[in-house]
């Protein structure tokens, strides 16, 4: 039986049958209300007392103490499994890559309570010094001018590690999240290339003769996201609006999807997925010009995807590549990404005098205005009028180019 001894200021000490001194310190209960204690073992009573005093100082400072030593690589799997219950598969896949390729190779063997702010800064440096081209990563001295991973990606990796450590703190495994003691990498701000008014008119004119013209014109005339248009189904083309409540995504491992994740399989790794929040279910207006384009595209079909490539769904990556080809053929700015069509629509709506609240409702930006009901008649009329302005302007019907876009 353990021999229990108490001395002034020593706290709780027990000496086991092997002669080791064991210290126990009461800690705050875990999130389920269960009792927690910090326990250490030392060879001598003096060492145990000294360690106990240090732990009490740390407890007073941070409010908690680590109760066990867990390797980061082991904890990462626990965290990923927990997060996979709530997040989309592609989001979890990104977190998994961050741990697999960067965090765990560098620090996976370390105990959670041994991580320091210095380790986090080392991780930042590692990312920012890694070539973007995987073929160059094995070189000890990559060629001058090699493109490196961005600060935006370094921020993603930082947030991944921080999320895992945050759960460890919450579960009482560690007393602090060292990521919170380090400045985050600064996210790179890039200026999105957009089409000018004249380029938009030129592109729309070119699309009238292109076999896939209706697809690309729909992006310009709705400000929709890439997956929303290639994922548009015939039964969601309504009389006066489009129902964009589903979109195409390429998903590597659908088995990672949480239980409440809504999806429908198309082929291979392509799925129709629905935004988890109804705030993401957008209904942009269907103006007459666009309605006519879609009617011609659909023809006599009654079901399936509106836009197909040789009878099959468009892969999102292929759509982005083909968009670049379209811009080149039309003789407009080839640097504009497919997402830039969305920014182009927003910019032109601003220039045509459309109010900010209406624009936000049309494109579904995350602002207070998107919480308003799309079903309100006033909002519907405002969105219809706005998109008629845009469609008329790009079609050259009765609306002059904005003053700042006119040729001198």
One pLDDT digit (tens) per residue for the chain, 408 residues? 444 444 333 458 888 888 888 888 888 876 667 777 777 788 888 888 888 888 888 888 777 776 666 899 999 999 999 998 888 899 999 999 999 999 999 999 999 988 999 999 999 999 999 998 888 887 777 787 788 889 999 999 999 999 999 998 888 788 789 999 999 998 776 667 888 888 888 888 898 889 999 999 888 888 888 999 999 999 999 988 889 999 999 998 888 888 888 999 999 999 999 976 665 677 888 878 788 889 989 999 999 999 999 999 999 999 999 999 999 999 999 999 988 788 777 777 777 766 666 666 666 654 333 323 323 334 556 666 767 776 776 666 533 444 444 443
Residue-level pLDDT at 355: 66
pLDDT in the model for residue 377: 38
| Euclidean distance between CA atoms 152 and 149, whole angstroms | 8
Q: Could you tell me the residue ranges of all domains in the chain? A: 3-62, 72-181, 197-405
Q: Give me the residues paired with residue 3 across strands.
A: 15
Topology of the domain comprising 197-405: hpI Integrase; Chain A (1.10.443)
How many CA atoms are closer than 13 Å to the CA of 316, on its beta-carbon side?
18
Please state, in angstroms and as integers, the Cα–Cα distance from residue 224 to each residue in 192, 252, 282, following that order.
16, 24, 9
| Residue pair 158/185 in contact by the 8 Å Cβ criterion | yes
Distance CA 249, CA 317 (A): 10
Fold of the domain built from segment(s) 72-181: DNA polymerase; domain 1 (1.10.150)
- Residue 64 has what pLDDT? 74
Q: Do 396 and 201 touch, CB atoms closer than 8 A?
A: yes
Q: What is the pLDDT of residue 292?
A: 86
DSSP one-letter code for 280: G
312 DSSP assignment: B
Could you tell me which residues come within 8 angstroms of residue 18 by beta carbon, excluding any fewer than 6 positions away? none
- Please give the full DSSP string across 117-159, using - where no structure is assigned: HHHHHHHHHHHHTSBSSGGGTT-SSPPTTPPBPPHHHHHHHHH
Rounded to two decimals, the pTM is 0.65
Structure tokens at 383: 């969105």
Burial of 279 (0-12, 13-18, 19+ CB in 10 A): exposed
Answer yes or no: same fold for 72-181 and 197-405. Answer: no
For position 307, what pLDDT does the model report? 96
């Amino acid at each position: 039986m353990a021999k229990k001894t108490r001395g002034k200021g020593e706290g709780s000490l027990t000496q086991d049958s092997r002669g080791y001194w064991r210290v126990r310190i009461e800690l705050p209960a875990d999130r389920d209300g269960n009792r927690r204690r910090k326990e250490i073992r030392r060879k001598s009573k003096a060492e145990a007392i000294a360690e106990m005093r240090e732990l009490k100082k740390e407890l007073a400072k941070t409010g908690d103490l680590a109760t066990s030593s867990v390797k980061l690589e082991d904890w990462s799997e626990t965290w990923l499994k927990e997060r996979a219950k709530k997040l989309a598969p592609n989001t979890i896949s990104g977190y998994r890559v961050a741990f697999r390729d960067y965090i765990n190779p560098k620090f996976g063997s370390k105990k959670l309570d041994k991580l320091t702010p210095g380790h986090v800064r080392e991780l930042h440096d590692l990312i920012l010094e890694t070539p973007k081209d995987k073929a160059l990563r094995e070189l000890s001295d990559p060629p001058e001018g090699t493109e490196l991973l961005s600060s935006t990606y370094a921020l993603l990796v930082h947030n991944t590690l921080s999320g895992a450590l945050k759960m460890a703190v919450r579960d009482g495994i560690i007393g602090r999240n060292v990521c919170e003691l380090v400045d985050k990498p600064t996210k790179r701000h890039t200026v999105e290339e957009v089409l000018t008014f004249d380029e938009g008119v030129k592109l729309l004119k070119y699309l009238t003769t292109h076999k896939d013209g209706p697809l690309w014109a729909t992006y310009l005339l709705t400000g929709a996201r890439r997956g929303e248009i290639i994922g548009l189904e015939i039964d969601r083309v309504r009389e006066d609006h489009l129902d964009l409540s589903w979109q195409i995504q390429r998903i590597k491992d659908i088995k990672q999807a949480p239980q409440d994740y809504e999806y429908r399989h198309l082929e291979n790794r392509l799925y129709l997925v629905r935004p988890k929040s109804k705030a993401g279910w957008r209904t942009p207006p269907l103006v007459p010009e666009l309605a006519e384009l879609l009617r011609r595209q659909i023809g006599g079909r009654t079901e399936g995807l509106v836009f197909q490539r040789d009878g099959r769904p468009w892969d999102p990556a292929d759509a982005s590549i083909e968009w670049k080809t379209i811009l080149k053929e039309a003789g407009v700015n080839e640097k504009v990404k497919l997402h830039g069509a969305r920014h182009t629509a927003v910019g032109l709506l601003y220039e045509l005098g459309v109010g900010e609240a209406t624009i936000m409702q049309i494109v579904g930006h995350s602002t207070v205005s998107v919480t308003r009901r799309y079903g309100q008649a006033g909002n519907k009329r405002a969105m219809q009028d706005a998109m008629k302005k845009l469609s008329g302007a790009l079609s050259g019907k009765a609306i002059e180019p904005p003053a700042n876009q006119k040729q001198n």
